[in-house]
Amino acid sequence: MASKIYTKTGDKGMTSLFGGTRLHKDDIRIEAYGTVDELNAFMGMLIAELPEGMREDTRLKRIQNTLFDIGGQLAVAPEKRAEFQLPMPGKADIKDLEKAMDAMNEELPVLKNFILPGGNKAAAIAHVCRTVCRRAERRMVTLQRSGALADPVMIQFMNRLSDYLFVFSRYIVHRMNDKETLWEK
């Protein structure tokens, strides 16, 4: 028999973090990990929309796993963090994104204008990912400012990821021989 997905424990606007701490569903911590989850879902949509040759990129799967790790970190109350051995992004993950951006930029034309999100469906989805990533980063900054986010590496990763998604959107357009949409004054 399949387990039931509904528990009814959230029917009054509360939810539980890992470890049992109850919070209102509009708490900034819930908003932060919910936005990371939303980004991860859009990343899945992006991967599904990529052409076959780009879809197998293991970096994209690593990014999704890292986002899941970040969501897990955010879903634990700070006072309970020691009880859980959850993975955390590190400086090497940030460096990997930087190297990937540098490699993609080698193939891309120099950016002389602002570009509008688009070019093709996959690139447009990459821009959606970028904007959701920025929102998640803002929510995490709010947590950090309140003292409820201990490790700034997660924010650094999200900052670099949004840059990566911008470059990746351009790279998608380039690899698919489409045209970027330039902003016109």
| Pairing label, strands 14-16, 22-24 | antiparallel
Q: Supply the pLDDT for residue 37.
A: 96
Q: Supply the pLDDT for residue 24.
A: 67
* Domains located in the chain, CATH noted: 22-75+93-182 (1.20.1200.10)
> How far is residue 184's CA from residue 113's CA, in Å, rounded to a whole number?
9
**Sign of the alpha-carbon torsion through 71, 72, 76, 82:** negative
Residues in the chain: 185
Q: Supply the pLDDT for residue 178.
A: 92
| Pairing label, strands 14-16, 115-116 | unpaired
Question: What is Dmax (Cα atoms) for the chain?
Answer: 60
- In order along its 185 residues, the chain shows pLDDT tens digits of 677 777 776 677 766 667 677 776 778 888 999 999 999 999 999 999 998 888 767 899 999 999 999 999 998 877 777 777 788 899 999 999 999 999 999 999 998 899 999 999 999 999 999 999 999 999 999 999 988 776 889 999 999 999 999 999 999 999 999 999 889 88
Q: What contacts 142, CB < 8 A, 6 or more positions away?
A: 28, 32
Q: Supply the pLDDT for residue 82.
A: 73
Q: Supply the pLDDT for residue 17.
A: 67
Q: Supply the pLDDT for residue 56.
A: 66
> How far is residue 160's CA from residue 91's CA, in Å, rounded to a whole number?
11
> How far is residue 135's CA from residue 146's CA, in Å, rounded to a whole number?
17
32 alpha carbon, distance to own chain's centre: 11
Q: Supply the pLDDT for residue 150.
A: 66
